Amino acid sequence: MSLQQENTNLKPKVLEVKNVFRTYHHEDTNIVVLEDVSFDIYEDEFVCLVGPSGCGKSTLLRIIVGLDRPTRGEVLYRGKKVEGVNPKTALVFQNFALIPWLTVWQNVELGLEARGIDKKERERRIRYWLEKVGLDGHENAYPRELSGGMKQRVGFARALALEPELLCMDEPFSSLDPLTSQNLREELLRLWTGKELPTVSILMVTHSIEEAIFMSDRVLIMSTHPGKIIRDLRVELPRPRNMRDEEFQKIVDEVYTLIV
Amino acid sequence: MRKEESVMDGEPLPSAEVEQIIGLLEILDDLGGKEDIPKLARSLQFELDDLLPVIRAAELLGFVVAEGGDIEITDWGYQFLRGNVQERKEIFARAAMDVPWMKKILDMLKENEGEPIPKEDVLEAFQEDLSEEEAELLLHTAIGWGRYAELIGYDQDEEQIFLPEEEDSPSE
Amino acid sequence: MRRNIWETATRIIVFFIVMALAYFLYKERLHFPPIAPHIPTEYRKIPIYTLWSLMRMTAAYILSLLFSYTYAYLAATHPRREGIMLAILDILQSVPVLGFFPAVVLLFVNLFKGARIGVEIASIILIFTSQAWNITFSVYESIKTIPEEVKEAVDLMGLTGLRKFFSLIVPSSIPRVVYNSMLSWAGGWYFLIACEIIAIGPMNFHLPGLGSLMQEAVDKGRIDLALASMLALISVIFIMYFLIWQPLSYWAEKFRYEMVSSTSEPPLTYHLWLRIARTKFFSLLSSFFHRLIQPLLSIRIKPKVSFSPPTLSFIQLSLVTILLFLSAFGTVIGFISLYSSLLQIHFSFVVKIPLAVLASAGRIAAAYIISLLWTLPTAVFIASSEKRESFFLPIIQACASIPAIAFFPFMVRYIVGITGNVNIAAILLILTGSQWYLLFNLIGGVKAIPTEIKQAAQVLGIKGWRYWRKILIPAVFPSLITGSITAWGGAWNALIVAEWITYKKKLYTAFGIGYLLDYATYKLGNVAFILLCLASMSLTIILINKYFWRRMYELAARKYKFEA
């Protein structure tokens, strides 16, 4: 069986999300965006959160990273409660979030400077990661000169240069055309399986089940209004995976039936 | 205003990003190396109009052949796909150097004794066969390819194209 | 619904507190220093006067920038004080420059015991009040429109405090600030005269500068001198435009978030500045500057986003308490004194105020309709090509900067002389202080119409009046509203020079709130009355803004916004 429902992972836990609720007050009503969300992320895992738009997965991601706080429940990182921005995580954004007046080099440098990393080490890291994501030659380009795929590569370089333990990604490929996203997905997976990433685990949010099954070891399926986790599945297809493979399509169909 | 021996050979502009070309090759590889073009567009949910420039670009570089509505990866294409990051750049560079309009830019740089040339000069050269808009688009593509292959560099502030310095040249 | 009432209540309460505090500070402390001699009115003094005026404008501008960034940053980053700070800003913006006379005179002229330096500072502060609020609003707006994802990315990287301020906030604000600075300078020039001739009641101080020169020339009937000084003013404006604003606007484009690939050519002066920026001297200067700021930036605060209210230390707490106590004390005394001196004012004066407001509002409305009629077609004309736009922009700025007084001779001789009615002159003068804002905004609005819409209209054959009614006007509606709000604001401010016309030592007036304010300041020197006029004007402006313009703006945002 390539899909398992129980989690029998014996590795240490990196992240624990415990009974998280997130509600918003709007005018006179309460909107429950997340309801009783609980799951754990272990070391060496690539986890995907899948769900339709509006199911709160982006909100959940922001709570995990520390940009937002749960109304109830808590998030533990390596056993300690998350208070404010968690420096062990990094986030890649759907719309890239690059600063338009800084060059590629300067965009990647920004976070390193803020952490007080010295000039020599900064240069080493920036050069290293720009090469790894395929942007060497583009150091002095401005975001407006770059295609969507290249902009996202800067986003990756920026995140990875900080050497995060947990890499979080918010629909990183959905603003890109199918060819470019295919390319980027493959490259990311290549780095991940080749253990070339400084990260221990990856958490990705997406609305595409195919993408989730393609990329991850584990898929968490979320429902919407309110957002809760309805399935926690392990994907045990060997890598490299092929989205156009019959075996792959079978699993996609299985997952769809599980949801309904 | 098209000459006989135009820069473009009368084909659609190969205005594709490098990563789109790579993406196309990877998808073809997954499909077994060959596919019917309209079927490909449909399965990707990609407009045929948007797909054709990428196919044209891959063809120009010798990575695919497109015949009778089908597209197939060449040996050269497989070599490119299987290579690591550095090998891919070298293969791409070798292929791109032979593309007429890239060659033109490299020639212009050589004539200028390796000094940077303003982008206007290149645009003018392109505009002998293309409209203003097409020339801009082609230049944008050339700069993207050139930067990837490390054949040329571009300075946005000065709006100049230059030859990048040899940093650590591969042992070739 | 509940929040709305709270908002209005807050604004009204703040309004009254500000008024009362102001009165407490003003009352019975006004000494009038001796009358300063009038300045020589000669041609050869023009260059010096120009430099003086330029110096004052620049000092006021720098002050405006410092104020704007501080105030807007504090307001935008603290949701709790945001409401109050914006309310105060709203009120300040509605107070015409004359309203600040008493405060400024009290503080600075008295401080230096009537010496020239005190008057200079007073003048600079007055110019500041005609420049600052506009820029503050634009910094605030730019902070609020930073894309959410970029803010998150910056927060996640641990950029906080001053570092975030210099790396994110300041650059994000540059496009809007540059644009609004041009407008602010125009506004500053327009009221220069009022700021260089500081007069309250018997006190009368003329500072050497273009503004006072113009006034004196007109007073003496020396049209030639007045024209010469206007020429000097216009030259300064054109030089500033080509040397500073044009290259600055081009450079500011690189800070925009909307990735619009601009195909426009950089202006010549831009290349000039690039060359300067590459010189050794400049790089020395900037590295020096960097070394100064570095210790400030390295104050590394742990990347933390705290949601709990900040805990104040004991010292901070006691300071805040003392401040609150003093303000409360001042407010109470202010209310009491205000009440008692109001009783002293002749009742007939007080009754006139509502009538005056009505009369002025009528004139402004008339001027507004006239502006609408000509600015809309002109905006369409100018916005149709970039070349046209860059040609007309400095001209519009120059026109907007011409002080109303330049038109006084014309007004008196031809308008009043022929019709015998100052009203028409007043309306025309109001135009000079308001129509340009409408034009500016409309040009921006027409430019922003997506090209596809224009092309679609062409293809469908929609032309003429139908095009205007169904496509153009709805499309520019948001800019129309913003422009109208600013134009009306400018109009209220212009009342003080539109309803009080001096020429050859004769006074021509039109009854209105501007007239009353001038009368209270220049003739009576009665602070309570000044405040009363100010209060009525401000209240009217705020009410119109809230119940008419804001509604229109919401309508515009709802119905007529284009999806990007």
3-state secondary structure of A208: coil
Give the fold, CATH level 3, of C44-254: MetI-like fold (1.10.3720)
pLDDT tens, B76-130?
999 999 988 889 999 999 999 989 889 999 999 988 887 899 988 899 998 888 8
Specify the pairing of strand A89-92 against strand A80-81.
Answer: unpaired
| Minimal-distance CA residue of chain A relative to B18 | A180
Provide the number of CB pairs (under 8 Å) joining chain A to chain C. 78
Beta bridge partners of A168: A91, A203
Partner residue facing A115 (CB), from C152, C155, C158: C158
Distance, in Å, from the CA atom of A212 to the CA atom of A214, rounded to the nearest integer, reads: 5
What residues of chain A lie within 8 A of the CB of B145, using their CB?
none
Distance CA A81, CA C342 (A): 62
- Interface check A91 vs C, CB under 8 A: yes
CATH architecture of B18-81: Orthogonal Bundle (1.10)
Give mean pLDDT, residues B4-31. 78
pLDDT tens column, C260-277:
545 566 777 777 787 777
Element (H, E) at B79: helix B75-82
Which spans in C450-526 are helix H? 451-460, 464-467, 473-498, 513-518
Q: Flag if A183 and B144 touch (Cβ within 8 Å).
A: no
* 8 Å CB contact of B148 and A137: yes
Q: Is the pLDDT of residue C419 over 50?
A: yes
| Residue ranges, CATH 1.10.3720.10, chain C | 44-254, 346-564
> In A, which residues are within 8 Å of C153 by CB distance?
91, 93, 97, 158
Residues in chain C: 564
Which helix (H) or strand (E) element contains residue B65?
A: strand B64-67
Task: Report DSSP state, residue C39.
Answer: P
Contacts of A99 in chain C (CB under 8 A): 150, 154, 167-168, 171
Contacts of A179 in chain B (CB under 8 A): 19-21, 23-24, 27, 44, 46, 54
Ranking A185-189, A196-200, B159-163 by mean pLDDT, the lowest is: B159-163
Give the domain ranges of chain A. Answer: 1-85+201-260, 89-163+173-199
> In the 3-class helix/strand/coil scheme, how is C307-338 assigned residue by residue?
CCCCCCCHHHHHHHHHHHHHHHHHHHHHHHHH
Give tens-digit pLDDT for C304-346: 444 344 555 666 677 767 777 776 776 676 666 666 666 666 6
Q: What is the pLDDT of residue A2?
A: 45
Structural domain boundaries in chain B = 18-81, 84-162
pLDDT band at C27 (very low <50, low <70, confident <90, very high): low
Fold observed for domain A1-85+201-260:
Rossmann fold (3.40.50)
Judging contacts by C-beta atoms under 8 Å, the chain A residues touching residue C156 are 65-67, 85, 89-91, 111
- The share of chain B scoring above pLDDT 70, in percent, equals 90
> In the prediction, which pLDDT does C251 show?
86
More confident: B147 or C417: B147
Is the per-residue pLDDT at B3 higher than 50? no
Q: Which alpha helices (H) appear in C166-261, and where do they start and end?
A: 170-190, 192-196, 210-220, 223-240, 246-252
Choosing among B17, B18, B19, which should be mutated to test the A contact, i.e. which has the most A CBs within 10 A?
A: B19
pLDDT for A126:
96
Q: Nearest CA to CA, how far is A97 from chain C (Å)? A: 5
Mean pLDDT of C112-124: 81
| Structure confidence at residue C466 (pLDDT) | 75
Put simply, whether C303 touches A (Cβ < 8 Å) is: yes
C167 and chain A: CB distance < 8 Å anywhere? yes
The class that CATH gives domain A89-163+173-199 is alpha beta
Partner chains of C (3+ C-beta pairs under 8 Å): A
At A19, give phi and psi (nearest 5°). 45, 55
Give the pLDDT confidence of C499-527 residue by residue, as tens digits: 988 877 788 888 999 998 888 887 776 77
- Which tops the pLDDT comparison, C469 or B46? B46
Closest Cα in chain A to C174: A101
Closest residue, chain C, to A64 (C-alpha)? C156
The yes-or-no verdict on residue A245 having pLDDT over 80 is: yes
| pLDDT (0 to 100) of residue C306 | 40
**Average pLDDT, whole number, for chain C?**
79
The 10s digit of each residue's pLDDT in A134-190 is 888 788 888 888 889 999 999 999 999 999 999 999 999 999 999 999 999 999 999
In chain A, residues with a C-beta closer than 8 Å to the C-beta of C157 are 110-111, 114-115, 158, 162
Subunits next to B (3 or more Cβ pairs <8 Å) are A
Which 8-state DSSP code applies to residue A101? T
* Structural fold of domain C346-564: MetI-like fold (1.10.3720)
Q: Which of residues 230-269 of C touch A (CB under 8 A)?
A: 254-257, 259, 261
Do strands C500-503 and C506-509 pair parallel, antiparallel, or not at all (unpaired)? Answer: antiparallel
Which residue has better confidence, C4 or C316?
Answer: C316
Q: What 8-state DSSP symbol labels residue A12?
A: P
pLDDT digits (tens, 9 = 90+) for C451-485: 767 777 767 767 777 777 777 887 788 788 878 88
pLDDT of residue C161: 77
Task: Tell me the CA end-to-end span of chain C in Å, nearest whole number.
Answer: 30
* Predicted local distance difference test score (pLDDT) of residue C158: 82
Averaged confidence pLDDT in chain B: 84
- pLDDT for residue B5: 37
Local confidence band at A206 (pLDDT 50, 70, 90 cut-offs):
very high
Q: Measured between CA atoms, how close is B146 to chain A, in angstroms?
A: 9
Using a CB-CB cut-off of 8 Å, the residues of chain B touching A132 are 85
Q: What share of chain A is helix, strand, coil (3-state, %, to 5)?
A: 35, 30, 40
pLDDT tens profile A14-50: 999 999 999 888 767 888 889 899 999 999 999 999 9
Q: Which of C150, C171, C303 sits opposite A87 (nearest CB)?
A: C303
- Nearest chain A CA: its distance from B155 CA (Å): 7
In 10 A of CB C98, how many CB atoms? 26
Distance CA C500, CA C405 (A): 10
Residues of A in contact with C159 (CB under 8 A): 110-111, 114
29-88 in chain A: CB under 8 A from chain C: 62, 65-67, 69, 83-85, 87
Instruction: Name the residue facing C157 among A94, A96, A111 (closest C-beta).
Output: A111
pLDDT at A64: 92
Confidence (pLDDT) at C302: 44
